[in-house]
Each structure stands twice: as C-alpha cells, then as structure tokens.
Structure 1
Amino acid sequence: MQRTVWSAALAAGLLLSAGCGSAAGPGSDSGGPGGKIVVWDWKSGDPKAAGYVREAKADFARKHPGVAVEFVAQPFEQYYTLLGAAIQAGKGPDVVLFNGGGQLRDRTDALTPLDAYVGEDRQRLAGWEAFTKAGKVYAEPVTLQGHPIYLNEDLYRKAGLDPDAPAATWDAFVRDCATIAQKTGARCFALGNKEGIGIQFWLSALGSAALTPQEYDDWIAGRRDWTSPNVRKVFELWRQAGESGLNTDGANSTAMFNDAFAAFSSGKAANVIGLMSDVGHWKDFAEFLTPENVGVRTAPVVTPAAKPSLPYDGGIGYAVAKWAKDPKLAADLVRSLTSPGALKAFSLDSGAIAADTTIDASAGGPAVESIVSEVKTGKPALHVALGSKTIDLMGRLSQQLLSGSATVDDVLRQLAESDKTG
C-alpha cells in the first residue's frame, strides 16, 4: 500500500514538473534569450501576493530581459509530497519555496548553497538561520515567522482587566482567564490542533517563559534535554490547559487554519497564539476586532529564571534546486524575490512581517509596531530547531495528550528518541 501511494505521488510530481515547463526539462534553455525559470510555491496564487510577484518579476526582467519566469502555485497540503517526488526524480522547478527549519534542512541535498550569490542581502535581511545548515545558506528569507500571543483587548476591558498590563506570571494569567470566562463567557485560548500544528505554536510561544536562557540556547544549538523539568512543564501545561477548559472546545477536531483564528476573531477566546506572517496575524484579526483591540504580549513567566521573548525565525524563503541549469541565474531570481520593492509590496498587501529590516512597518498600527520592536531581542523558535520527523511525531502525540490517551512522560520519551535519531 505504501509503495502504491508513493508511486502515485511520484508520478503526479513528475507529470506536474514536466507540464509546467521546468528549466530542467527537455527543450528548455534557462540560460539564454527566450529561456524560462520555473518557480514552485504556494503563495503566488494568493491575491494578496499579486503585487509581490509583479514587483519581483519586474526587478528580474530589468536584469534579464530575455528570460521568462513561470510561477506554479501548488496546493500547500500537497506541496512537500509533490516536491519530494521531484527530488526523487532529480528534476523539476528551478526555484523552490520552503518553510524555514526542518522542511528545508531535511532536503538540502537537493539544493544549491547560495552563499556565493547572496551578497549585500546578508545585511539587509533577517531570519537566515532558519535556512542554514552546517554553515551554508540554502534559501533567502522572504518573511519572518514567529508566534506572538495576541489578545482581544475589548474582552479584557469587559472583564475589568487592563490589556496594557497583562498578567506577568502563568498563575496570574490563568486567574485572569477565569475572570474573563466568568464576565464574558470567552475561553482563554482559541486552539486548533487537527493537523497537530497547535503544539508547535505552544512550544515556541511558551518555551522562553519556561526554559532558562541557557536551556533555550542549548535547545537551539541541538543540545536538547527532553528530561529537563522545564521542558516537561511546557507539555504538562499543554495537557492541563485542555483538561481545565482553557481552550476552545474540540481542539483536536478544529483546524488551526483558519477555524481557530476565526474563533479568536469572533470573540470566543481572549487569547490566541498566532503568527507574524500573512495569515493568522495582526492584520487578519484587526479586520474583525479593529486595530485598537488587537494586543500583543510575550508569554507569562512559568519558570522564575526564564526570560520571555518573541520567538521568531525566517518564515518562508526561496531556494535553488541543484538540477537548475544555470544556478547563478536562478539565484538572481531569488534575489529579485527578496528585493526591497517586492518585499515592501508583500508587507503592505498581506501584512506579513518582511525579512527586510529596512521596511517601515509603523503604518500597520500598535500591534505590528510591538512585534517589530520585539524582533530586536527575539530568539529562534524552539519547534523550528526540530527535524520534520520529530515535528510530525510531536503533532500526533500532542493530540493524544489532549485526548488523555498518552502521558507527558511517554510523550517526552518518544520525542527524545526521535530527536536523537534525526
């Protein structure tokens, strides 16, 4: 059965890569006039990205007027399966979009290091670490991705609480959640974990409030101690939040995208661990709650020695496939996709926090100003440091924790074993 499924995926990927006119395919000539560079992503079909794609194409055309660029927007839920089939076959798109972290690092054998091509972009862009492995850069960051805790300031005020001075400790935070529930009927957190994604947000948003600074740095560096009492606290609080009714109902059957975010926007929960990118973020929430009612806070302190900070990394970035006929030309397109004009358009139209640190985001309102200011002292997100196999396992185990079919100790043991084997 597994062989049949994989063969079908492989066939689908090869058919798609041939049909889209890949530069690695027969008859293409990406290096000369009339040639073509093919890009796979899941963003270019989004209306919010139309201005971004237009600006990137224009920037590239000024440098290479004889080369066409074709964007092939793939469905995100199938994206890495299709990409895996292309990698298996050794041909496909020239330029590929990746999430930062394990999804890219697990596939660097199929990518071209970009260190020789990034030039001054090194200084202008942030978030490089999420696209780096063994000291080599494999993609240029387009956005920064992080996990702020958003709060509905209107609900806080209705409960008699000051949203500008939210509870600083976890125990006080839980007490405030009880007050909000009593006065407004809203839950503490809007949570969706149908895809097993909720635990990623939880780990990264609360991690800096539970781990000591040294434990945090060790985790990012790969020296992870899954037996640490402070690591255990993060998963124990996940379990307790479900058992004590802090979350919106049916978290394991609720999609994070976009049902959980919709629950927050509609006032069913006072808080949500959201994103900095162009979905589930300040701009989406402001459309329903109004900008002045969307607040942002760091995590409440769980361990006294912890120093909470905004967890963030490079969000999405474009890489060059190793089979591209002209890596330098493909890398030039990547640089156009991260050019100031393109990233400014993406930021304005979608609300994403662009990787370009020179963009002025103050027009976005208080929430985005707060996020941008916290980037200066933020640290990489804990879940991004994990391999994709461990991430997938953590998602499944997190559902078992919420349902009560697994213990925290068993979950941590399995995750430690997975992390050790890569």
Structure 2
Amino acid sequence: MKQRRLWSAALVVGLVLTAGCGTAAGPGSSTGTGDKLVVWDWKSGDAKAAGYVAKAKADFAKNHPGVTVEFVAQPFDQYYTLLGAAIQSGKGPDVILFNGGGQLRDRSDALAPLDSYLAEDKQRLAGWDAFTKAGKVYAAPVTLQGHPVYYNKALYEKAGLNPDAPARTWDEFVKNCGVITAKTGAKCFALGNKEGIGIQFFLSALGSATLTPQEYDDWIAGKRNWSAPNVKRIFELWKQADDAGLNNSGANSTAMFNDAFALFQSGKAAHVIGLMSDIGHWKDFAEFIGADKVGVMGAPLVDPAATPSLPYDGGIGYGVAKWTKDPKLAADLVRSLTSTDALKAFYQDGGAIASDTTIDVTQGGPAVEKIVSGVKTGKPALHVALSSKTIELMGRLSQQLLSGSITVDQVVQQLAASDKTG
C-alpha cells in the first residue's frame, strides 16, 4: 500500500485496453505459450518485499527452470480498476494478488478454483476463509491481516498509568484517555477516515467487545441484524468517541494511510487501530517509538456478554486467472509464493504476519508475540464479511455520521438494504 502512483482512472483503463492485454505484445500480459507467467500485484515493487519475491522465484525455478516469471507492480490506488478492465477483456495476468474478502469474492468468476492444487498446504497456512466462496478456494493466503489496538506505553508512563495493564472495559478506557490527554496533551485515538477506511477498522476492532458470541458468529455467517442494539451500539460509539474529543481533530479529512499512523508514531495520539501486516503495524511503529514501547491491548469490553478477540483474516493472497493456459503451472507459482522460505523473508524484511503458522516470531518483540498469540483464539474481521459495495457505502455513511448529517438509525437502515442486495 505504500506505492502511490497517481494515474487517472481513464488513463489507466485506456492503457490496459490498448496494450494488448493477454497477448505477447502487451506489457504485463501473459504470452499464453506456457514458457512465461505474468503476476500482477502491488507489493513486488516494494523494497521490503524484494527478498520475498526472490525466494518465491527461486523456489518456482527449481521445478520449472524453463519458465519465465514476470512481476508487474501496479499502482494500488488503481489496482482493481486495472484488474476490472482485464477481466472485462477476458485476458491478462496469469496470477493475481487480492485483498481477502469482498475484493476477491466479487471477482471469483474470473478465477480458477485451486482446491485440488493446494490440498497439501491447508494445514500449514492459515487465513483460507477470506479467499473462499461457496466452499471453493480461489487464492492462497500470503499474510494474515487484522486490526489490533496499539498503544504507546511511553505515554501511559508519562500519564502515571500502568503500561502493562491497559483498560479492560470501555468505561475504564475512556477514563484513562482523559488522564492521558490531561497529562500529556495526546489525543486518545489517531483516526483517519478521509477514505472511509477508519470505520472498517473501528467496526472490526471493537466488534467482538460489543456483540455477543452468537451475534458475532451470525454476522460472519451472513445472518446480520443491522437493527440489533449491539450493532447500533458500535456506530453510536463511533459517533460518541468523536463528539467527546477522543479522536484527533478533522478525522474525515485525515488519511488513514499514512497521516493517522503518523499521529500515533509521533506521540500525538496514545492509541491507534492499526494492521497486523503491510503498513501501520508493529514493525513500522517500533521504528519510531521503540519495540519495547509498542503495546497491543485487547478491545475494551462494551457488552459484558461479549468475548473480545483479535479480528483477523487472510490478508493478501494470490489467485489464478481462469484464462491462463496452464492452471496447474500457475498454481505451482502460487505455491512458491506461499512457501515457507518466501514467507519467512516477508516476515523478517517487511514485518508481515505470514500465513505460515510454522514460522518462529519470538525474536520480533512483545507486540508481535501478543498478536500471534491472539491468532489462536481470533475470529474473522466483521468488515471482511461484507461485500465491497456495502463497505464503500459504510465508508460514506461513516463520514456523514461524524459530520452530524445523518443518524445512526439511518446508517444501519441503509447498510441493511445494501447488505441484502449484495
């Protein structure tokens, strides 16, 4: 996500359609001859992913020395627009990187099921559900992605609070935030909702502390009751936290990537709902405030009947386009992209929480150990269960909710209607 080449959507689509996508002449397109595979992603151009890509290519070359693998790093801001154009043409890359959840499920018709090719990897890797639709697997997880609540232990110490005993309930959390702001000047939360992303993090991070276990499981299973009091409570807290001044000012004009994270890293906010992998995560924060000062806390309990847990899913994963000439060959490349040596390099260099559960993370510091231990009892993130259409609507409504131009009841009514229609 650090890669931000800002091209206009019209230009991007035009380049895809005129480049001969799916032909030998098209840059970033498969030759279709079996001697070349093209991978589209937004990660391979990142220096921190260089070791990962090199390990994956070396693993694949051992069994397929005559096959060329070309990685094409697309700009993330336009990635799914580019991919949409390729899907419409029915031609394009052989192997495609996806975010887990709606972004993949909404495009599963363009992908080849991989169950028969990846059976040996099912036990070693975690995060499969985010890349599954109607019982079929369409991509293999590379990372696990979730939303821990990070806190700055140095600010806790400065405020006279015990940095090793963060609040366990929402009321206690709000009280502690008042102490921190009074004694340090730091806000409680760093929040970026310019892109409408902040609500996704908030919903998933606080969901398990607000919904009962049955309500949570029903949500993930698609039996969502948007008018339920506990569901409404999450959106009420979203509004109340901002009204009470817990967030940095101008959350709707603050970008999550990377302005909100910068507020936390600079000590201007005591907490942030961040990521487990990719960016805005434990390794990034440690570079600024020190590994020993990065805390990870459980979601503060809102409903006494709730059971807080770490929300996580498969983060990013590679799938195989249905138009590829040799799906087995492409699936072999996916297996190399999820090999232990490759994923170990991704963890060591980039701080990704890899999908491979055999990787030792004990040298990563207390924050990563806390996160990985939480995976054992964690549940899927609430927002990942939603369609991309509903997520986009939720982002817009969350901005209106913070601005006071809409009510919680109106928000949940609109989201219920969107969720019903897919």
Same fold (TM over 0.5): yes
Query: 1:151 aligns to what?
Result: 151
Give the equivalent residue in structure 1 for 2:354: 354
Note the alpha carbon deviations across 1:122-157, whole angstroms, 9 max, x for none. Answer: 010000000000000000000000000000000011
Residues 139, 319 of structure 1: 8 Å contact kept = yes
Q: Alignment partner of 2:118: what SS?
A: coil
Cα distance, 1:163 vs. partner? 1.7
| Aligned equivalent of 1:20, options 27, 45, 49 | 27
For 1:110, the equivalent position in structure 2 comes to 110
Q: Is the 8 A contact 2:9 2:78 kept in 1?
A: no
In the TM superposition, 1:91-130 aligns within 5 A as 91-130=91-130
| Percent of residue pairs bearing the same amino acid type | 75
Read off the aligned partner of 2:271 and give its amino acid letter.
N
Instruction: Provide the C-alpha distance between the structure 2 equivalents of 1:278 and 1:413, rounded to a whole number of angstroms.
Output: 33
State how far apart, in whole Å, the 1-side matches of 2:158 and 2:238 are: 27
Aligned-partner SS, 2:208: helix
The residue type equivalent to 1:55 in the other structure is K
Separation in structure 2 between the aligned mates of residue 47 and residue 369 of structure 1, nearest angstrom? 25
SS at structure 1 position matched to 2:200: helix
Amino acid across the alignment from 1:181 = T
Q: Do the aligned residues in 1 keep the contact of 2:12 with 2:78 (CA within 8 Å)?
A: no
Deviation track 1:17-50 (CA, whole Å, cap 9, x = no partner) reads: 3532522x5xx412xxxx1100000000000000
- TM-score, normalising length from structure 1? 0.96
Cα distance between partner residues in 1 of 2:337 and 2:18: 26
**Distance in 1 between residues matched to 2:231 and 2:239, nearest whole Å:** 13
Asked if the contact 1:101/1:385 (under 8 Å) is kept, the reply is yes
Report 1:21-420 matches (<5 A): 21-23=28-30, 25=31, 28-30=32-34, 35-420=35-420
SS at match of 2:116: coil
Q: Which amino acid aligns with 2:226?
A: W
Counterpart residue identity of residue 248, structure 1: N
> Which piece of structure 1 moves more, 247-256 or 201-210?
247-256
Alpha-carbon shift at residue 241 of structure 1 (Å):
1.0
State the secondary structure of the residue aligned to 1:271: strand
Runs of 4+ aligned residues of structure 1 deviating over 6 Å after TM superposition are none
Q: Deviations over 1:293-337 (max 9, x none)?
A: 000011000001000000000000000000001000000000000
Shift of 1:7: 7.1
Please give the secondary structure, in 1, of the residue aligned with 2:224. Answer: coil
Task: Determine the C-alpha separation between the residues in 2 that align with 1:365 and 1:15.
Answer: 49
CA contact (8 A) 2:98 2:319 kept: yes
TM-score by length of 2: 0.96
- Give the letter aligned to residue 251 of structure 2: A
Distance 2:187 2:227 in 1: 31
Distance in 2, matches of 1:270 and 1:123, equals: 38
SS in 2 for 1:296: strand
Task: Write the letter of the residue equivalent to 2:16.
Answer: G
1:78-108 per-position Cα deviation (integer Å, ceiling 9, x unaligned): 0000000000110000000000000000000
Q: Give the whole-Å Cα distance in 2 for the aligned partners of 1:303 and 1:212.
A: 8
Q: CA separation in 1, counterparts of 2:9 and 2:76?
A: 18
Extract unaligned runs of 5+ from structure 2.
1-7
Secondary structure (helix, strand or coil) at the match of 2:335 reads helix
The residue type equivalent to 1:164 in the other structure is D
Cα 1:40/1:174, change in 2 over 3 Å = same
Question: Structure 1 residues 216, 21: closer, same or farther in 2, change over 3 A?
Answer: closer
Whether the aligned pair in 2 keeps the contact of 1:190 and 1:271 (CA below 8 Å) is yes
Cα separation, 2, equivalents of 1:6 and 1:51: 31
Amino acid at match of 1:36: K
Note the aligned Cα RMSD (angstroms).
Answer: 1.1
* Count of residues in Structure 1 that have an aligned counterpart in Structure 2: 411
> Are the counterparts in 1 of residues 28 and 72 from structure 2 also a CA contact under 8 Å?
no
- 1:13 Cα shift? 2.2
